[in-house]
Amino acid sequence: MDAKEIIRQVRRIEIKTRKMVDETLAGQYHSAFKGQGMEFSEVRAYQAGDDIRAIDWNVTARSGGEPFIKKFAEERELTVMILADMSGSQEFGSSSKAKRDLAAELTALFSFSAIRNQDKVGCLIFTDQVELFVPPKKGKKHVLRLVREILAFEPKRVKTDIGEALSYFSRIVKRKAVVFLISDFLDQGYEKPLRFVRGRHDLVAIPLVDPRELEPPQSGLYVLEDGETGHETYVDFGSKRVREAYIRQAKAIRQNTLQTLKKSRVDTIPLECGEDYDTALMNFFKMREMRR
């Protein structure tokens, strides 16, 4: 993708995602994710029904005995981190959108929601090693840089190591953050660092899948290439037995990913390339708001 095409893509994604954020998602994002705690806001006169434990006795004494209570407000500013898988399998896309294209849109969506709520946002791009870390900042210019980084990124490696990405993140980011982990999760052995990050941060996993990975063509001889090993396999989808075996295996892999995330008690938004994801995101934010 040349520089002009990247600029066009960034602009298209900005228009699409900012519209979604402005119309629906910004408020739901605010409600779904908690601030870092409560901070003192002001004092006001006591009113019937107020919690007497909130009375500020020093102010009350200075006011001649009229009771005043402390008011607290949510300390809102959050740190949001996008962990984006850019391994070889993310290049796959049977529809108009590859997995990495969807990752770029989601990065823009979460980032614009974050800065709309005065939160900082950063990005970590990984394969089987961390290839880029962009520290959290505020501002539209910074968000567009994150989107551009993903669209233009040319990975040095093709394999995946989710555990390494999570471990690196844990070492770099100490303060509690909201973490969006975007990957197809075609990896193993990441459960321990996954649970570690979940225990210290607000972790949300977004497992991506392409529809052709779950539902192959009805017929024809195809060459399937593993995006991370380069291994090629000839598959005849005209054979009912072969096609059914392929579907069983693909669905088992997907189900295993979802089960692993569920066992680790990680909030999950499963998404499919080419589908409208706005409803899934809104439902997730509403679920989070109800749970608060």
Residue range of the domain that includes 253: 3-33+77-291
Q: How confident is the model at residue 71, as a pLDDT?
A: 66
Three-state secondary structure readout of 24-78: HHHHHHHHHCCCCEEEEEEEEECCCCCCHHHECHHHHHHCCCCCEEEEEEEECCC
Q: Output DSSP code: residue 191.
A: H
For 93-140, the DSSP string reads: -SSS--HHHHHHHHHHHHHHHHHHTT-EEEEEEESSSEEEEEEEE-SH
* Same domain (yes/no): 181, 41: no
Give the pLDDT of residue 288.
Answer: 85
Give tens-digit pLDDT for 6-61: 889 889 898 988 888 887 787 888 778 865 544 555 677 877 777 777 777 787 77
Q: Given this model, what pLDDT does residue 109 score?
A: 92
**What total of structural domains would you count in the chain?**
2
Lowest-pLDDT range of 112-121, 132-141, 155-164, 217-226: 217-226
Q: Residue 243 contacts by C-beta under 8 Å, 6 or more apart in sequence? A: 216, 218, 237
Q: Same structural domain for residues 170 and 227?
A: yes
What six digits make up the tokens of 261? 């995330």
CA-to-CA distance for 204 and 180, rounded, in angstroms?
Answer: 5
Alpha-carbon gap, residue 156 to 135, rounded angstroms: 21
Residue 132 CA to residue 150 CA, distance in Å, equals 10
Residue 73 has what pLDDT?
A: 45
> 98 and 56 in one domain?
no
pLDDT at residue 98 tops 60: yes
Tokens of 112: 């614009």
State residue 38's pLDDT score: 47
What local confidence, expressed as pLDDT, does residue 72 receive?
55
**Which residues does residue 84 pair with via DSSP β-bridges, in sequence order?**
125, 182
pLDDT value of residue 75? 52
Residues 8, 113: one domain?
A: yes
Directed axis angle between helix 162-172 and helix 191-200, to 10°?
A: 30
Residues 99 and 46 both lie in one domain: no
Instruction: State the pLDDT confidence band at 76, using cuts at 50, 70 and 90.
Output: low
Q: What is the mean pLDDT of residues 118-142?
A: 95
Same domain, residue pair 86 and 180: yes
Tell me: do 190 and 50 sit in the same domain.
Answer: no
Pairing assessment for the beta strands 68-75 and 37-45 based on DSSP bridges? antiparallel
Q: Is the pLDDT of residue 251 over 90?
A: yes
- Using a 10 angstrom Cβ sphere, with 0-12 exposed, 13-18 middle and 19 or more buried, the burial of residue 21 is buried
pTM: 0.82
State the chain's mean pLDDT as an integer: 86
**Predicted confidence band of residue 156 (pLDDT cuts 50, 70, 90):** very high
